[in-house]
Amino acid sequence: MSDTVTLKINGRTITASAGSTLLAAAQSANIYIPNLCSNEELTPYGACRLCMVEIAHGKRTRMVASCIYEVAEGLEVQTVTERILNVRKLVIELLLARNPYHPRLLKISHELGVQASRFKEDVKGCILCGQCVRTCREVVGVAAIGFKGRGRTRTVATPFDKAPADCIACGSCAYICPVKVIPLEDKNNVRTIWKTEFPMAVCKKCGRPFAPEKQLAYFRKIANLPENHFDTCIQCR
């Protein structure tokens, strides 16, 4: 077995490494597919459905989410067909109904020629792409937040909607959020995130608050660092 496969995207022959996703293969061949929930650093998730493409199965075609579909030898893929554009428009309109003001969503709707959503606005901000949840689990490794409920009432939440015991206040969830709806505030040496206050560590040299104490403690623990390792901020080292 070779580790590359050859497939066709929009008629162009492309080689991709076996096991990669259609989206990744398209991107490395400079073929644009809109996407929102996919992130190279995170496990593929397939939540937003913006990245839909059409693949051929003999005479029939089928729509798949390119961010969770693996490349295969001889696969024929179309990224811009009427059927796909219709689906993408529908998806972006649904997303706009939840969040009508975010620049990134507006940019994609502009690309698709969507002027306004035909759905009644029900502004929730969060578009449930799950990047915050996946980042917290896979990159940070603390799994402090998750989803709650299902369907229309699904939200991202801390367990029991309480102060999250496992949260280290690193702010990665707020950072990764594509629509910036997770509130994070640093004020008076305190970081507030998930409605919980975390004291910041103050640099022993310059006296500036530079990171949440809990985050530093977590780093010390996983990297086996001495107790005084983070006494000073990066600038003062």
Partner 1 sequence: MQAKIQAIISRYGSDKGFLVPILQDVQRELNYLPEDALVMVSTLLEIPLSRIFEVATFYKAFSLTPRGKHLLSLCLGTACHVRGAPLLSGHIERALGIRPGETSPDLEFTFETVNCLGACALGPVMVVDGEYHGQLTIAKTNAILRDLGRKVPSDEEA
Binding site for ligand FES (CB under 6 A): 35-38, 46-51, 65, 67
**Least distance in angstroms from the C-beta of 140 to partner 1:** 12
Letters for 200-229 (x = contact with partner 1 by CB under 8 A, - = none) are ------------------------------
Partner interacting with residue 51 (select from ligand FES, partner 1, none; CB below 5-8 Å by kind): ligand FES
Binding-residue pattern over the window 93 to 132 for partner 1, x denoting contact by CB under 8 A: ----------------------------------------
Q: Which residue is nearest to ligand FES (CB)?
A: 67
| Residue 49 interacting entry, from partner 1, ligand FES, none, C-beta within 5 to 8 Å by type | ligand FES
150 binds, among ligand FES, partner 1, none (CB under 5 to 8 A by kind): partner 1
* 148 binds partner 1, rule: CB under 8 A: yes
| Residue length of the chain | 237
> Which residues contact partner 1 (rule: CB under 8 A)?
133, 136-137, 142-150, 157-160, 164-166
